Amino acid sequence: MSFNNTSDWLDYDKNHLWHPYTSMTDPLPSYPVESAQGVRIKLTDGRELIDGMSSWWAAIHGYNHPVLNAAVKQQLQSMSHVMFGGLTHLPAVTLAKKLIDLTAEPLQHVFLADSGSVAVEVAIKMTIQYWYAQGKKDKQKLLTVRGGYHGDTLGGMSVCDPVNGMHTLFQGVLPKHFFAPQPECNENGSTNIESLEKQLQSHQSEIAAVIIEPIVQGAGGMRIYCPQYLQQLRLICDKYEVLLILDEIATGFARTGSLFAYEQADIVPDILCVGKALTGGYMTLAATMTTAKVVQGISADGAGILMHGPTFMANPLACQVANASIDLLLASSWKRIIKEIEAQLDNELSTCQEYPVVKEVRVKGAIGVVELHESVDMKRMQADFVEQGVWIRPFNKLVYIMPPYIINKSDLSQLTSSIHHVLKRLTLNAN
């Protein structure tokens, strides 16, 4: 059985498929995509949308990239997948070496996970197993800051912001962790790290690790904070003997202007999670990296087995496209490119501040955020953007873009001017 036309399968989609964070009984409309090329997403009716989302931080080189396509095709010729239990392959080992070479020297060990959420689960397990093996069996809790996002599986959710992560709904199954306020920084480099330190001081014996997104908090609120906070955090984690997990699943691979955001604070995490842009948006793959200290620690109690092993661990197609994507990124002038995108976003979005509906405009690297005073009518605003020929997906009070790095000046201008257009309309309606 097949579908006769687009409206047929769109209807089927509406009645049978869940989309991210949607209702099955009252779904928001989904736009049918035919193909995607460069920074353009082509709908089945022929309309082309300039992509402002990089498919959630991932498609940094744009869509249908010849080099990435070739990497997948070539890997298909030899094998698309083999189990990673008891077997290994060059695509995975090459990727591990690239990741180790690109990140801070102490990060020497790699667990290839099949999604960002799983990479976070693995990171959490590593820290708990580490302390367990040291005889500190009470250290099973995490400490994090509000406004974070670390994934949709139960472990990841448990360290998402308790309010917008809907902890009440799942309170019977979610582990209870400790939360400090969102990072705040003053002009002079002083921060509100004391509240986090107080929590750590009181609960040191129960806390295994601090988990945080460095420099930019993504889906939990799109907030930016200063590197000083991370520097202080690193010192405090050492002082109170807890591990530091940095979740760079959104910020990794140059999005914030440095290859990894933690470089801006010049610190080294005990565990680093990467994902999203790792494969240039082609396939699902993530990685949890750690140090010899953590590895030795986990193995200190004899068996030393890390308790995780997904079926599709280290999928060779995903590894090879990740290898090609990393090579592409490194061969590009990414530093200059991100600086230019940042300057243009600054230039073209800062004036959004003048609309009374706007609370704050924030720009960091290739990320532009407009925070409104009120939550937006997502359906309406989404349709407005599509009408403007752009793909921008607002959520809650946030209208934000993180375009593919290959975007040119005029396409980026079209993204920012469509934001102006939508905000203007919203301001008129508010009066």
Ligand X SMILES: *Cc1c(COP(=O)(O)O)cnc(C)c1O
- CB nearer to ligand X: pick between 120 and 294: 120
By CB under 6 A, tell whether 160 contacts ligand X: no
By CB under 6 A, tell whether 162 contacts ligand X: no
By CB under 6 A, tell whether 117 contacts ligand X: yes
By CB under 6 A, tell whether 218 contacts ligand X: yes
Q: Give me 399's structure tokens.
A: 């209208």
Strand residue runs (E) in 213-365: 216-217, 223-224, 243-247, 271-274, 286-291, 358-364
- CB nearer to ligand X: pick between 281 and 316: 281
Residue ranges of the alpha helices (H) in 20-137? 54-57, 66-78, 90-102, 116-133
- CB nearer to ligand X: pick between 155 and 297: 155
Assess whether 276 carries a catalytic annotation. yes
By CB under 6 A, tell whether 247 contacts ligand X: yes
Q: How far apart are CA 18 and CA 4, in angstroms?
A: 22
- CB nearer to ligand X: pick between 150 and 397: 150
- CB nearer to ligand X: pick between 218 and 227: 218
Minimum separation from the CB atom of position 117 to ligand X (A): 3
The residue from 21, 26, 45, 101 that is catalytic is 21
Assess whether 149 carries a catalytic annotation. yes
Burial of 395 per CB tally in 10 Å (0-12, 13-18, 19+): middle
By CB under 6 A, tell whether 115 contacts ligand X: yes
The residue from 63, 130, 132, 149 that is catalytic is 149
355 C-beta neighbours (distance < 10 Å), count:
18
Q: How far apart are CA 316 and CA 88, in angstroms?
A: 10
x-or-dash pattern for ligand X, window 258-297, by CB under 6 A? Answer: -----------------xx---------------------
Assess whether 21 carries a catalytic annotation. yes
Figure out which of the listed residues 51, 161, 213, 371 binds ligand X, where binding follows CB under 6 A: 213
By CB under 6 A, tell whether 225 contacts ligand X: no
By CB under 6 A, tell whether 245 contacts ligand X: no
Minimum separation from the CB atom of position 144 to ligand X (A): 11
By CB under 6 A, tell whether 120 contacts ligand X: yes
By CB under 6 A, tell whether 219 contacts ligand X: yes
Stretch that binds ligand X, among 9-17, 146-154, 314-322, 391-399 (CB under 6 A): 146-154
By CB under 6 A, tell whether 250 contacts ligand X: yes
286 Cβ contact partners less than 8 Å away, ≥ 6 residues apart: 112, 113, 114, 115, 116, 118, 119, 249, 273, 274, 275, 276, 278
Residue pointed to by tokens 């050492």: 238
By CB under 6 A, tell whether 411 contacts ligand X: no
247 C-beta neighbours (distance < 10 Å), count:
31
Pair 388, 401: CB distance under 8 Å: no
Q: Which helix (H) or strand (E) holds 37?
A: strand 33-37
**Which of 324, 380, 393 lies closest to 55, judged by CA?**
393
Position closest to ligand X via CB:
116
Figure out which of the listed residues 84, 130, 131, 149 binds ligand X, where binding follows CB under 6 A: 149
The residue from 125, 276, 364, 397 that is catalytic is 276
Minimum separation from the CB atom of position 240 to ligand X (A): 24
Tell me if residue 184 falls in helix, strand or coil: coil
# of chain residues touching ligand X (CB under 6 A):
15
- CB nearer to ligand X: pick between 212 and 422: 212
- CB nearer to ligand X: pick between 269 and 275: 275
Q: How far apart are CA 143 and CA 78, in angstroms?
A: 44
Q: Exposed e or buried b for every residue in 359-383, given b needs 16+ CB within 10 A? A: eebbbbbbbbbbbbeeebeeeebbe
Stretch that binds ligand X, among 68-76, 212-220, 327-335, 398-406 (CB under 6 A): 212-220
- CB nearer to ligand X: pick between 117 and 344: 117
188 Cβ contact partners less than 8 Å away, ≥ 6 residues apart: none
387 to each of 47, 159, 302, how far by Cα in Å?
A: 9, 37, 61
DSSP bridge pairs for 180:
145
By CB under 6 A, tell whether 151 contacts ligand X: yes
Stretch that binds ligand X, among 30-38, 80-88, 112-120, 131-139 (CB under 6 A): 112-120
351 to each of 49, 156, 358, how far by Cα in Å?
A: 24, 36, 10
Q: Give me 149's structure tokens.
A: 């996002």
Which residues have a catalytic role annotated?
Answer: 21, 149, 247, 276
Q: Which residues bind ligand X (CB under 6 A)?
A: 115-117, 120, 149-151, 213, 218-219, 247, 249-250, 275-276
